[in-house]
């Protein structure tokens, strides 16, 4: 067995699970292949994404995010709640509110009670070229109920970026939604040049929706916080819900509020540490 070991923490937010590494105190190897190994649910620790804590020149900390295929993600809302809890538990900060640098910009999580974190997600991006999507090209957005043709089917979809791109599809029954069939095809559809996360959403009442998500580079996950924010924004713009609503995910419920169109989206939800440990770095170990 190798004597080179890596400390890690396993966490989740509403069932969206993460492996967290301390890139502030520890020297880390190349992260793309490491993410593929650590996130493997059979031969590694298992997780939807790898979160790496780094110092930041523009914020209190930086959060780097890697998918199970080794690709980078701009932002993860469930992840940043777990990240905030992890930073406080490991003594990196005592602050209730911090600024975190991500590829999507500065995001500000703050404590909202025991095991709960509220995240200021910033304003949603609605302009097609900035999401990015070819749907609604030539307009300023928003992209609502746009036609998307895929494998002989015509879907009506909305597109929103919450730091990463999302395609939202209303369905009558989210439990029966074709997530595994359509998710990977829409993820790589030419209408989305940077690929896309795909949300299937069932509207239950004007203050409650149910959601399933196919995450870009990951597959179906139990929760997607930025996706819940995107679903809330699209639902509000379509007049289907109030400006504060509960988004029920397979792993838990998030409260999303978008007070006004010129305001930030606020997300409140849980974060939990599952376990911590050490894993050999060598593949053969």
CB half-sphere exposure, 49, CA atoms < 13 A = 31
Q: Is the separation of the CB atoms in 276 and 82 below 8 Å?
A: no
* Sign of the torsion angle spanned by Cα atoms 28, 29, 32, 34: negative
φ, ψ of residue 57 in degrees (nearest 5)? -90, -10
Catalytic-residue membership of 76 = yes
User: What is the C-alpha separation between 79 and 221, in angstroms, rounded?
Assistant: 12
User: What is the C-alpha separation between 142 and 41, in angstroms, rounded?
Assistant: 38
Among the options 224, 229, 233, 254, which is catalytic? 224
Among the options 35, 38, 76, 126, which is catalytic? 76
Q: Where are the alpha helices (DSSP H) in the chain?
A: 31-38, 77-89, 179-187, 225-237
Catalytic-residue membership of 167 = no
Report helix, strand or coil for 128: helix
Q: Which tokens in the block code for residue 260?
A: 């006004």
Q: Which of 62, 41, 77 is nearest to 218 (CA)?
A: 41
**Residue showing tokens 């989206």:** 265
User: Would you please indicate which residues are annotated as catalytic (active-site) residues?
Assistant: 76, 224
């Amino acid at each position: 067995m190798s004597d080179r070991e890596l400390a890690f923490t396993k966490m989740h937010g509403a069932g969206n699970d993460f492996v967290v590494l301390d890139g502030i105190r520890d020297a880390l190897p190349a992260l793309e292949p490491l993410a593929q190994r650590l996130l493997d649910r059979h031969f590694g620790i298992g997780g939807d994404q790898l979160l790496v804590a780094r110092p930041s020149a523009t914020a209190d900390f930086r959060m780097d995010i890697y998918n199970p295929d080794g690709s980078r993600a701009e932002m993860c809302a469930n992840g940043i709640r777990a990240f905030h809890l992890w930073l406080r538990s490991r003594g990196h900060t005592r602050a209730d509110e911090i600024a975190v640098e991500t590829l999507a910009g500065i995001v500000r999580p703050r404590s909202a009670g025991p095991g709960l974190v509220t995240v200021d997600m910033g304003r949603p991006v609605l302009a097609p070229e900035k999401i990015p999507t070819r749907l609604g090209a030539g307009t300023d957005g928003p992209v609502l109920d746009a036609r998307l043709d895929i494998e002989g089917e015509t879907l009506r979809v909305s597109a929103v970026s919450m730091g990463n791109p999302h395609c939202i599809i209303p369905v009558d029954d989210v439990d029966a939604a074709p997530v595994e069939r359509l998710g990977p095809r829409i993820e790589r559809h030419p209408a989305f040049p940077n690929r896309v996360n795909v949300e299937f959403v069932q509207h239950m009442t004007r203050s409650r929706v149910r959601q399933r998500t196919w995450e870009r580079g990951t597959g179906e996950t139990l929760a997607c916080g930025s996706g819940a924010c995107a679903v809330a924004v699209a639902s509000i713009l379509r007049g289907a819900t109030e400006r504060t609503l509960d988004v029920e995910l397979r792993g838990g419920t998030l409260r999303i509020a978008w007070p006004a169109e010129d305001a930030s989206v606020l997300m409140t939800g849980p974060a939990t540490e599952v376990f911590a440990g050490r894993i050999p770095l060598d593949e053969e170990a």
